[in-house]
Amino acid sequence: MLTRLYLLRHGETDWNQKSIFQGQTDVDLNKKGRDQARKTAELFQEIEIDQIYSSDLKRAKNTARLIVHDKNLEIRENKQLREVSFGDWEGLSFAEIKKQYPDQVVSWQQDPIHNSPPAGEKLLNFKLRIEDFFKKIISRHQGDKILVVTHGGVIKVYLTAILSIKPKNFWQFQIDNCSLTELKFYDQEIILSKLNFTNTIK
């Protein structure tokens, strides 16, 4: 039985544009992000979706609403789909973080599995949270086409989990705003058929 999972990163925010760490801070889409979502909606005119889930953060759920505005589908919001928490680093650029938290940055870069940003989330806990969510929905909706609108970190870390890649290497995947990643589940086999596919303005 074939189950298709479509993973979509949210559209652009002002913090994305400025390269500021967002994490679980509830930043909404900017104008470009809304335009990206409307453009991405064109892809789903030819793809019939059976189920749609979204992170409960504004940038994800508002992307989801723009994409399925003309479809008779309930968007199920779920906190498990939130981005990793960067704790005290949220709202700062990487340059600011390195200046204010030099020792913690080094520890985090060397071992993000067991070291987290101050008041943030360890990569191991983030990975377990994501895996638990996807295991449940794949089991619940076998044979369906499932759209999940979420965050870049969620998609990257989930890909490391199902492709047997070390979680600390999540950064090797490029996941742009409003890009689509497609996974096909054939019983025990998983195939990555699309990665970082965009139909949007850069």
**Mind telling me the catalytic residues?**
10, 83
Report the C-alpha dihedral over residues 146, 151, 155, 160, rounded to 10 degrees. -150
Question: Which has the closest alpha carbon to 177: 1, 3, 22?
Answer: 22
User: In Å, what is the CA distance from 91 to each residue of 14, 114, 141?
Assistant: 11, 23, 37
What residues form the annotated binding site?
9-16, 59
| Token output for 39 | 């453009």
- The helix (run of H) or strand (run of E) holding residue 125 is helix 123-140
